[in-house]
Amino acid sequence: MRTPIIAGNWKMNKTPAEAKVLVNELKPLVKDANATVVICVPYVDLCTALKETEGTNIHVGAQNVHFMESGAYTGEISAAMLKEMGVEYVIIGHSERRQYFGETDATVNLRTLAAVKAGLTPIICVGERKEEREAGYTNALVEYQTLIALNGLTDEEIKNVVIAYEPVWAIGTGLTATDEQANETIGVIREAIQRKYGKEVADTVRIQYGGSMNPKNVKGLMAQPEIDGGLIGGASLKAPDFSLVVNYDK
Ligand code: 13P
């Protein structure tokens, strides 16, 4: 049915020279993966990553994109710029951008529209903070974040989008959602998509789990029916670890 997608989010790690080393370590280790393999690298590493992955099964993504086509937006990067380089994916609305850089659901939507229009596949991040889960708002929040992000896309466009459910309390903390918690919340996201866009769209869109996913817990998470892959932070920075996650089914 849905092809699993495992994406590394390098965050603000690796210089271009370090990126070259990591990509070349990774290439032989992931070449037989059954999942789609993506690495989302810092902007300055994109050139290196694209060059070093040419002719391989590793796809390259960015970690953010601006929503305007061009203009006086100092320091920003447009979707067309990424597309022209050969970038295929872009992470949008990561919780670190929401927390530290003023990202809102409205700007997540604008970035998603710009990315899709330029032919990039967005990986849209949603997820609750600890206090929101404890207060019982997880489901309402992730539904809202998801539906706002997708607003204005056609059904066909939504089928190609990737959603990453990343509970904020599980990111970089070593705490993982249990297999059942992750599956349940991803199911809630899929149901919300189904209510608004129908079953065919909901059954097609790929929804990842992210948050301390690693070689030890990947099998259990990936065995859950709703979970279509992972967005991997820390464990994507070491080739052996990332390849074990990518090859979780071997
Ligand atoms: P960790 O895997 O380091 O918890 O990070 C998850 C994440 O934020 C991926 O985008």
Please indicate whether residue 212, judged by its CB atom, sits closer than 6 Å to ligand 1.
yes
Please indicate whether residue 233, judged by its CB atom, sits closer than 6 Å to ligand 1.
yes
User: Which run of H or of E encompasses 117?
Assistant: helix 105-118
> Nearest-5° angle of CA 53, CA 55, CA 56?
60
- Token pair belonging to 16: 């271009």
| Ligand 1 atom, smallest distance to 164 CA | 10
Whether the pLDDT of residue 4 is over 90: the answer is yes
Whether the pLDDT of residue 174 is over 90: the answer is no
Whether the pLDDT of residue 17 is over 90: the answer is yes
For 181-234, what is each residue's pLDDT tens digit? 999 999 999 999 999 999 999 999 999 999 999 999 999 999 999 999 999 999
Under 8 Å between Cβ of 213 and 186: no
Among the listed residues 55, 52, 28, the one whose alpha carbon sits nearest the alpha carbon of residue 41: 52
| pLDDT computed for residue 47 by the predictor | 98
Among the listed residues 57, 84, 59, the one whose alpha carbon sits nearest the alpha carbon of residue 69: 84
Query: How confident is residue 139, by pLDDT bands cut at 50, 70 and 90?
Result: very high
Among the listed residues 181, 180, 183, the one whose alpha carbon sits nearest the alpha carbon of residue 208: 183
| Ligand 1 atom, smallest distance to 174 CA | 4
Task: Give φ, ψ of 8 to 5 degrees.
Answer: -90, 135
* Cα–chain center distance at 190: 16
Q: What is the residue whose two structure tokens read 């305007």?
A: 68
For 126-138, what is each residue's pLDDT tens digit? 999 999 999 999 9
Whether the pLDDT of residue 175 is over 90: the answer is no
Q: In Å, what is the CA distance from 207 to each residue of 47, 55, 151?
A: 28, 27, 17
Whether the pLDDT of residue 242 is over 90: the answer is yes
Query: In the predicted model, what is the mean pLDDT of the chain?
Result: 97
Please indicate whether residue 171, judged by its CB atom, sits closer than 6 Å to ligand 1.
yes
Among the listed residues 121, 53, 49, 128, the one whose alpha carbon sits nearest the alpha carbon of residue 91: 121
| pLDDT computed for residue 176 by the predictor | 84
Among the listed residues 82, 91, 73, the one whose alpha carbon sits nearest the alpha carbon of residue 119: 82
For 47-105, what is each residue's pLDDT tens digit? 999 999 999 999 999 999 999 999 999 999 999 999 999 999 999 999 999 999 999 99
SS3 state of residue 67: coil
For 100-125, what is each residue's pLDDT tens digit? 999 999 999 999 999 999 999 999 99
Ligand 1 centroid to 230 CA: how many Å? 9
Under 8 Å between Cβ of 249 and 208: no
